Amino acid sequence: MRRPFAVAIGLDKNGHIMKNPLEYGKNKGKARAVVKRALITGITGQDGSYLADLLLAKGYEVHGIIRRASTFNTSRIDHLYQDAHVHGVRLFLHYGDLADSVNLVKLIYSLQPDEIYHLGAQSHVRVSFDIPEYTADVTGVGTIRILEAIREAGVKSRFYQASSSEMFGKVQEVPQTETTPFWPRSPYGVAKVFSYWATVNYRESYGLHASNGILFNHESPRRGETFVTRKLSRAVARIKCGLEKALFLGNLDARRDWGYAPEYVEGMWLMLQQDNPGDYVLATNETHSVREFAELAFGYVGLDWKEYVRHDERYERPAEVDLLIGDAAKAKKQLDWEPKIRFPELVRIMVDADLGLLKAAQSRSGVQSEWAA
Ligand code: NAP
Ligand code: F7E
């Protein structure tokens, strides 16, 4: 059963956003016992949810911005829920939107976060061709809104920008590093280049501790269902359980450097712990094609991918990023960050998780399948 949502967010009893949770209820008057306060945009997304896990485990007080939606959109952070009336709650959610600067200024001013992780974005590359203006506004200008809010509010927050390997696009160098020139191939990539340079510019102009994490693809069981890895792991589970017969995909030749998301959010945190801000590539330094992912994922459950994968040109992009492979040597040297989960294990983790979800759903509904039997 779903919990009532209103008590999960940082609202006081009159429904106003709490300026400071310590002013409320049993927390009133208590000294700030937490290490640091962080604000996460995009907390309901894959990375935001893992980052919230990580920061809470480190003792942070975590605030997240969520969008008002007509359906529940907090499934990835529901496990972190605690009733806001209980003493010691450290996760607070606030309504907001990257298109609404006044709200962002108010939130940042009232929260005075030590660290801001800006992960919110329209993050789907294919979709960015359908809604380019919206993507530019949210994924691009949204970053300037946060940076300006930091200046306007006069806070000393450290800032993390979720930059992307999509900025390399038509790659000018193999592997890609922090100095490889950008050549974005989608409205999403263009918006991310804007945000990257905005971050650099605010660092240089105003001395902000503002860093870019140039992250290559990172996946997990919490990955959105329309990204190709999760689309594959879900379909493998459903086909194995006899619920589907085919999976429609676009370009199977594209190559990506795929890592494991929980490891990448640790890298974000490390960037903000450095004395000086900087820009860092996080990647595995391995590249694999979509076809290889399909082969491994189907093969893991004893199926031949060629019997199930069909082509649908709707999933092709007007311009493709053919090859991504990152060199994370700088992150290794300066942050002591290095990925441990490699491609075959990532595929297994994702397929196992989707099989588990399906089996759990089937046992709740009493449905049997060959796999569940
Ligand atoms: P994601 O799962 O798509 O999550 C995106 C988050 O942004 C969600 O919480 C979403 O809220 C929120 N959001 C979207 N539009 C918004 C708006 N107008 N106002 C406020 N919030 C909004 O993305 P992710 O995979 O976690 O990636 C996190 C960030 O890293 C993104 O900026 C992405 O572009 C970037 N990135 C990702 C990768 C990767 O491989 N995952 C690699 C490089 C960079 P809803 O839940 O309400 O939709
Ligand atoms: O596509 C091909 C597609 O949508 C990967 C985002 O997190 O990572 C992500 O962007 C590849 C592409 O991720 C389908 O053409 C084939 O070549 O899973 P994806 P992405 O575009 O790499 C970067 C780093 C980000 O920053 C983004 O936010 O797979 N592909 N067939 C397909 N892709 C999808 N989605 N669906 C298909 O059916």
Distance of CA 94 to the CA centre of its chain: 18
Q: What is the token pair recorded at 371?
A: 């796999």
**Of 164, 165, 211, 233, which is the active-site residue?**
164
Angle of helix 290-300 relative to helix 343-365, nearest 10 degrees, comes to 50
Instruction: Give yes or no for residue 224 CB within 6 A of ligand 2.
Output: no
Instruction: Give yes or no for residue 165 CB within 6 A of ligand 2.
Output: yes
Query: Which pLDDT does position 84 carry in this prediction?
Result: 67
Query: Which pLDDT does position 86 carry in this prediction?
Result: 67
Q: Which residues line ligand 1 (CB under 6 A)?
A: 41-42, 44-48, 65, 67, 69, 73, 97-99, 119-123, 138, 162, 164, 215, 217-218, 224
Q: Pick the ligand that lies closest to the CA of residue 48.
A: 1
Distances (CA, A) of 348 to 225, 229, 241, 246, 250: 17, 11, 17, 20, 22
* Smallest CA separation from ligand 2 atom 34, residue: 228
Distances (CA, A) of 189 to 110, 140, 142, 145, 185: 32, 9, 14, 18, 6
166 as an active site residue: the answer is yes
For 92, phi and psi rounded to 5 degrees?
Answer: -130, 130
Q: What is the token pair recorded at 283?
A: 């990647």
* Smallest CA separation from ligand 1 atom 23, residue: 45
pTM of the complete model: 0.92
Q: What is the token pair recorded at 340?
A: 């441990």
DSSP, collapsed to helix, strand or coil, labels residue 280 as strand
Cα 134 to Cα 144: distance, rounded to the nearest angstrom: 15
How do 255-256 and 288-289 pair as beta strands?
antiparallel
Q: Pick the ligand that lies closest to the CA of residue 99.
A: 1
User: Could you check whether the bond before residue 175 is cis, i.e. omega within 30 degrees of 0?
Assistant: yes
Q: Name, in order, each residue with C-beta under 8 angstroms of 153's C-beta and a sequence gap of 6 or more.
A: 105, 108, 109, 112
Cα 164 to Cα 312: distance, rounded to the nearest angstrom: 26
Provide the H-helix boundaries in 34-139: 46-57, 101-111, 125-130, 132-135
Positions in the chain whose pLDDT score sits under 50:
1-32, 34, 371-373
Query: Which pLDDT does position 85 carry in this prediction?
Result: 65
Of all atoms in ligand 2, which is nearest to the CA of residue 317? 15
Provide the H-helix boundaries in the chain: 46-57, 101-111, 125-130, 132-135, 142-153, 187-206, 228-240, 261-273, 290-300, 329-335, 343-365
Q: How far is the CA of 164 from the centre of ligand 1 (A)?
A: 11
For residue 271, which amino acid is it?
A: M
Q: Name, in order, each residue with C-beta under 8 angstroms of 254's C-beta and a sequence gap of 6 or more.
A: 289, 290, 320, 321, 322, 323
- pLDDT, tens only, 270-325: 999 999 999 999 999 999 999 999 999 999 999 999 999 999 999 999 999 999 99
Q: What is the token pair recorded at 337?
A: 């960050």
Q: Name, in order, each residue with C-beta under 8 angstroms of 140's C-beta and a sequence gap of 6 or more.
A: 190, 191, 192, 194, 195
Provide the H-helix boundaries in 32-167: 46-57, 101-111, 125-130, 132-135, 142-153
Instruction: Give yes or no for residue 164 CB within 6 A of ligand 2.
Output: yes
Conformational region of residue 232, where left means phi above 0, alpha means psi within -120 to 50, and beta covers everything else: alpha
Q: How far is the CA of 265 from the centre of ligand 1 (A)?
A: 13
Distances (CA, A) of 51 to 58, 192, 220, 300, 340: 11, 20, 13, 29, 18
The half-sphere exposure of 266 on its side-chain side, counting CA atoms within 13 A, is 15
**Of 60, 160, 188, 260, which is the active-site residue?**
188
Q: How far is the CA of 364 from the centre of ligand 1 (A)?
A: 31
Query: Which pLDDT does position 294 carry in this prediction?
Result: 98
- pLDDT, tens only, 178-197: 999 999 999 999 999 999 99
Q: How far is the CA of 119 from the centre of ligand 1 (A)?
A: 6
Of all atoms in ligand 1, which is nearest to the CA of residue 76? 46
Cα 243 to Cα 235: distance, rounded to the nearest angstrom: 9
Of all atoms in ligand 1, which is nearest to the CA of residue 214? 43
Instruction: Give yes or no for residue 249 CB within 6 A of ligand 2.
Output: yes
| Nearest partner of 60 among 265, 223, 261, judged by Cα | 265
Instruction: Give yes or no for residue 254 CB within 6 A of ligand 2.
Output: yes
Query: Which pLDDT does position 16 carry in this prediction?
Result: 40
164 as an active site residue: the answer is yes
Of all atoms in ligand 1, which is nearest to the CA of residue 163? 44
Instruction: Give yes or no for residue 308 CB within 6 A of ligand 2.
Output: no
